[in-house]
Amino acid sequence: MKDAPENLGIDHDPVRHPEGCRPGIDCDHWVIRGARLRDPAAGLDQVSDVYLADGRIAAIGEPPADWPNEHAEHVAADGHWLIPGVIDGWARLREPGQEHKANIGTESAAAVASGITTLVMPPDTQPVLDTVAVARYIKRRAQLAGRARVAAIGAMTQELDGRLLSEMAALNEGGCVAISNAHYPFHDLRLMRRALEYAATFDLQVLLQPLDPSLAARGCAHDGAVATRLGLPGLPVSSETAPLAQLIAMISETGARVHVPLLSSAAALRQIERAKADGLPITAGVSAHHLWLTEMDTDALDPNCHVIPPLRRMRDRDALRRGLADGVIDTVVSDHQPHDPDAKLAPFPVTEPGISGLETFLPLMLKLVEEGEISFERALDAITRRPAELFGLTDTGRLEVGKRADMALIDPDAMWGIDADHLVSAGANTPFVGWDFAHRVEATWVSGRRVFRRKD
């Protein structure tokens, strides 16, 4: 597994370090000086100093009365933005079970190098995340890695086979922030309805991805002109909208709180909009790459553009952008799926789907802002406050006194590009190689601990 690039990591600041504090590692007190604080949810857009103590934001502006200045580490942040740490609500880290692709250590390192402080894992691990023991293993591995916080989503059915319900309430009590069946279908809609009733009884957050297995069988690209010309098996829009209609009908009967994490089509977006207008407890998300790429990007048969749900028409992409701008789409995720090189070497239809998305997640969102597609306020809301509320992570997602000190420092003037050889993630399977970006993450704090600083 490749090492991290040499220009990334924890390094000494060009300032003194307090006695007894290893630089950038175990300081309890920090002063971030002169940053532009940008957090619309907290009503912040100002240049100010921020004081961190014991893992939390102790003060903004003036130091607390008992501030131990001689024991605090100072960071000069003039000309930089300070934003809440990004929360990625759908990211596969490949551990446990597929460590030949990546692991929690490598991917949490990639996360913090990209301003992501919390990663939420779907339950399709090996073994499946259908017991509290697996959830505790993941939490412990994340703690040992010492970088991003990792939250687990528990499985709705045992082994994700869609036949027997899991102990969903026990998983929730064991620390799982939601329940899901990942991309696996239920074999019986009656069981799915019972699962939603169970979830509603315990007020559990459910994540379900609508995908009809018969309509989607063997499909690898949007069922349209490009797939027809290339001879690729198509995935029609109805493979998403038909099961979504069934799901909405069940939500109306059970009252379960359901989030659809990965919309891909304008038709599905209209269904969500109508369901919300009817007052149903449904929310929706989209991947960052679905806000940029279309079926035309599969024209070169680039296996890095093989994703499920597939990249659809330009009108679908534009509709998803409008849905995000209007607030119909609540959250944006990376849908991170790192792969080993062999997984993408076969012909397009038999390659493994998925993009390594952590390191392009925040840059793609800020690029939407830069090009005037959405406001900065809406972009940040979809990757900080809204996912924090969705998963009950009430202690993070904002720059507020008393909140957990999860934050990212950004240089808004830095210009950089994506180079597959210099990604921190163990997976280099990204279609964004060669893309240029402004705005670069320079440092990241998780619970008041600086876990990343870009070397000069």
For residue 87 the two structure tokens come to 């929360």
Angstrom distances, CA of residue 113 to CA of 15, 106, 315: 22, 11, 33
Kindly state whether residues 314 and 375 are assigned to the same domain.
yes
Strands 205-207 and 178-180: parallel
Kindly state whether residues 419 and 303 are assigned to the same domain.
no
Q: Predicted confidence band at 2 (pLDDT cuts at 50, 70, 90)?
A: low
Kindly state whether residues 318 and 420 are assigned to the same domain.
no
Please identify, among 390, 410, 438, the residue that sits at the C-terminal boundary of a domain: 390
Kindly state whether residues 74 and 92 are assigned to the same domain.
no
Q: How far apart are CA 262 and CA 183, in angstroms?
A: 10
Measured in degrees and rounded to the nearest 5, phi and psi for residue 223 equal -75, 85
Q: What is the pLDDT of residues 272-289, one digit of tens each?
A: 999 999 999 999 999 999
For residue 412 the two structure tokens come to 């808004």
Q: Is residue 286 part of a domain?
A: yes
- Enclosing H/E stretch for 364: helix 358-370
For residue 297, indicate whether it is catalytic. no
Measured in degrees and rounded to the nearest 5, phi and psi for residue 397 equal 95, 0
Cα torsion for 389, 392, 395, 396, to the nearest 10°? -50
- pTM, 2 dp: 0.94
Kindly state whether residues 229 and 371 are assigned to the same domain.
yes
Kindly state whether residues 383 and 420 are assigned to the same domain.
no
Is 82:31 a contact under the CB 8 Å cutoff? no
The Cβ of residue 349 has, within 10 Å, a number of other Cβ atoms equal to 17
Please identify, among 364, 390, 416, the residue that sits at the C-terminal boundary of a domain: 390
Is 213:186 a contact under the CB 8 Å cutoff? no
Residue in this structure with the two tokens 């993009």, named with its chain if needed: 355
Total domains in the chain come to: 2
Q: Predicted confidence band at 16 (pLDDT cuts at 50, 70, 90)?
A: very low
Kindly state whether residues 373 and 270 are assigned to the same domain.
yes
- Enclosing H/E stretch for 46: strand 44-53
Q: Which residues contact 143 (CB under 8 A, 6 or more apart)?
A: none
Q: In the predicted model, what is the mean pLDDT of residues 31-57?
A: 95
Q: Is residue 126 part of a domain?
A: yes
Which of helix, strand or coil describes residue 208?
coil
Q: Predicted confidence band at 5 (pLDDT cuts at 50, 70, 90)?
A: very low
Query: Which structural domain, as residue segments, surrounds residue 425?
Result: 29-83+402-453
**Omega into 96 within 30° of 0, i.e. cis?**
yes
CATH of the domain at 137: 3.20.20.140
Q: Could you tell me which of 428, 432, 306 has the C-alpha nearest to residue 361?
A: 432
Catalytic residue among 223, 335, 340, 406: 335
Q: For position 17, what pLDDT does the model report?
A: 39
Is 328:282 a contact under the CB 8 Å cutoff? no
| Sign of the torsion angle spanned by Cα atoms 267, 336, 367, 48 | positive
Q: What is the pLDDT of residues 217-249, one digit of tens each?
A: 899 999 999 999 999 999 999 999 999 999 999
Q: How far apart are CA 362 and CA 66, in angstroms?
A: 36
Q: What is the pLDDT of residues 58-111, one digit of tens each?
A: 999 999 988 887 788 999 999 999 999 999 999 999 999 999 999 999 999 999
Q: How far apart are CA 117 and CA 4, in angstroms?
A: 18
